[in-house]
Amino acid sequence: MSVEITWWGHATATVRDSGVTVLTDPLFVRRLAHLRRRRGPVPTPDAAVADVALVSHLHADHLHLGSLVQLWPGTRLVVPYGAGRAVPGLRRVAAAGGLRVTEVRPGDEVTVGDLRIRAVPAAHDGRRLPFGPHRSPALGYVLRGEATTYFAGDTGLFDAMADAVGPCDVALLPVGGWGPYLGHGHLDAGRAAQALALLGARSAVPVHYGTYWPIGMDAVRPHEFHAPGDDFVRHAGRLAPDASVHRLGHGECVRLEPAR
């Protein structure tokens, strides 16, 4: 019994557990507005094959309509409550692609096969920027099957994080961003290590770094692009020494055994 995780870049990962394939925050493009994919190839079409795709919040680098179009017909798509109203194109894409959309709030659960997926809160502005007055919650997700895996989405540290998530075997934690400065509601490498210590997870995979960067800004604070993965390994070794950190390259996979 095990869980298998593949990191495709940014917040996009595949989690395989209990015979169910879960895709997080699909983003399959070389360029998004002022951002370009600076490291790692665009994922191959097989990366878009999943039983269920999870969207953590409505920012365009997490809910990307052009990437959702590539999902296989019949894929279950789990999105924050109000997404269909806040992002009108979502309904069109879902209808055209045969996607089955479920909107969830923190505490809601979705069952896919033998896997239970619970939405949990995140400390992040979940609005679809810069358009529209509607607000939707930013979410993380806890996947419970043979292992328990926490996908944090985008979040800052918050007091109730450990209670909201509960015990977990693996944590997919954001450790950086797509620009030289992180705004409010994000984890950097140090704060992500603090989160890992709070959660008590046995394993961690750093995500949301080292993939996209603003065009023309390669020389602006380049350490914020290159360093977060290694910095997270270093900080986690100090703050969560019992946890194993798996710093994956783009397209790399790790198989982890849950606690007995």
pLDDT in tens, the chain (260 residues): 589 999 999 999 999 999 999 999 999 999 999 999 999 999 999 999 999 999 999 999 999 999 999 999 999 999 999 999 999 899 999 999 999 999 999 999 999 999 999 999 999 987 776 665 567 899 999 999 999 999 999 999 999 999 999 999 999 999 999 999 888 899 999 999 999 999 999 999 999 999 999 999 999 999 999 999 999 999 999 999 999 999 999 999 999 987 66
Secondary structure letter of residue 257 according to DSSP: P
pLDDT for the residue 260: 60
What is the secondary structure of 40-82 as a DSSP string?
SPPPPGGGG--SEEE----STTTS-HHHHTTSPTT-EEEEETT
d(CA 175, CA 48): 24
Beta strand 253-256 with 31-32 is: unpaired
d(CA 249, CA 211): 10
The model's pTM: 0.96
d(CA 155, CA 131): 21
Secondary structure letter of residue 24 according to DSSP: E
Q: Which two tokens stand for residue 149?
A: 């895996």
Burial state string for 242-252 with b = 16 or more CB within 10 A and e = fewer than 16: ebebbbbebee
What is the secondary structure of 148-192 as a DSSP string?
EEEE--S-B--TTHHHHH-S-SEEEEE---SSSS--TT---HHHH
Q: Which two tokens stand for residue 179?
A: 């620009």
Tell me, what amino acid is at 198? Answer: L
Q: Which two tokens stand for residue 244?
A: 């194993």
Whole-Å CA distances, 105 to 124, 126, 132: 14, 12, 19
- SS3 of 185-216: the string is CCCCHHHHHHHHHHHCCCEEEEECCCCEEECC
Which one, of 254, 257, 195, 177, lies nearest residue 7 by Cα?
254
